[in-house]
């Protein structure tokens, strides 16, 4: 009887992007020694990040925010358009709330401060590859505070005026926004153009008198216009 070959699991392919070569080298040394993880490339700025992501199609990208030529957040948005399957973790010294919010809006799966112990990085890579979202505790508290503030504002609006009525199509778009899909992914899901998606989102924000996708989702949940499971 022939032996059944053992099932093989492909390694997690990681791209490292940081403008400090020494930091990149440290990450590479730690990750390369981990079973099931393969460092397939590195870059020193956002332009390299986008090009190498297109060429190498990594599973996980560890990327700084403050970089020359093209910043990490802008690169993150471009990469999510080009390689939607890539999970991007911003690994940065920036503890600015605005950077956190913009990174998440751009499609980042994680936001970790560089104060993280270097030996925790392999766990972070495996976690995001497995579908988890990771945010440094100090940054997570800021995110929770922001959602609390948004919820409070939406509650105040609820007491002032009845919730505006959204069309069935606008509700479909809002549900997909709540799932974290970008305009291109929503367009594919609903078999409409990206411009049509943008028009729907603009109409939703105008009707709800809000300024961002995040606010629209929080408001809709509070108003019981949709449920996120």
pLDDT for residue 42: 94
CATH 3.40.50.2300 maps onto the chain at 12-135, 141-222
pLDDT at site 6: 44
Q: What is the CA angle 168-172-178, rounded to 5?
A: 140
Task: Give the distance from CA 130 to its chain's centroid.
Answer: 14
Secondary structure of 169-219 in HEC code, one letter for each residue: HHHHHHHHHHCCCCHHHHHHHHCCCHHHHHHHHHHHHHHHCCCCHHHHHHH
Superfamily covering domain 12-135: Response regulator (3.40.50.2300)
| pLDDT for the residue numbered 1 | 43
Superfamily of domain covering 141-222: Response regulator (3.40.50.2300)
The strand order across the sheet containing 60-63 reads: 37-43, 12-17, 60-63, 87-92, 110-113, 134-135
pLDDT of residue 2: 43
The whole-number pLDDT of residue 3 equals 45
pLDDT string in tens for the chain (229-residue length): 444 444 447 899 999 999 999 999 999 999 988 999 999 999 999 999 999 999 999 999 999 999 988 889 999 999 999 999 999 999 998 888 788 888 888 888 888 988 888 888 999 999 899 888 788 767 766 666 665 565 566 556 555 555 578 898 998 998 888 777 778 889 999 999 999 999 999 999 888 888 777 778 777 777 776 655 4
């Amino acid at each position: 009887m022939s032996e059944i070959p053992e099932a093989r699991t492909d390694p997690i392919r990681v791209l490292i992007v940081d403008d400090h070569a020494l930091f990149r080298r440290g990450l590479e040394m730690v990750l390369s020694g981990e079973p099931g993880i393969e460092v397939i490339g590195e870059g020193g700025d956002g332009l390299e990040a986008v090009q190498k992501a297109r060429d190498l199609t990594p599973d996980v990208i560890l990327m700084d925010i403050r970089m020359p030529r093209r910043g990490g957040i802008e690169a993150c948005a471009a990469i999510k358009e080009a390689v939607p399957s890539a999970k991007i973790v911003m690994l940065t010294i920036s503890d600015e709330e605005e950077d956190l919010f913009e990174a998440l809006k751009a499609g980042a799966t994680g936001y970790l401060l560089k104060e993280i112990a270097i030996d925790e990085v392999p766990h972070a890579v495996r976690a995001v590859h497995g579908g988890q979202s990771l945010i440094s505790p100090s940054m997570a508290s800021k995110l929770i505070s922001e959602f609390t503030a948004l919820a409070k504002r939406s509650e105040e609006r609820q007491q002032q005026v009845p919730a505006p009525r959204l069309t069935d199509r606008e509700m479909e778009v809002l549900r997909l926004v709540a799932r974290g899909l970008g305009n291109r992914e929503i367009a594919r899901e609903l078999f409409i153009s990206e411009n049509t998606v943008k028009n729907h989102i603009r109409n939703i924000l105008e009707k709800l008198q809000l300024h961002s996708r995040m606010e629209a989702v929080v408001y809709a949940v509070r108003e019981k216009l949709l449920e996120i499971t």
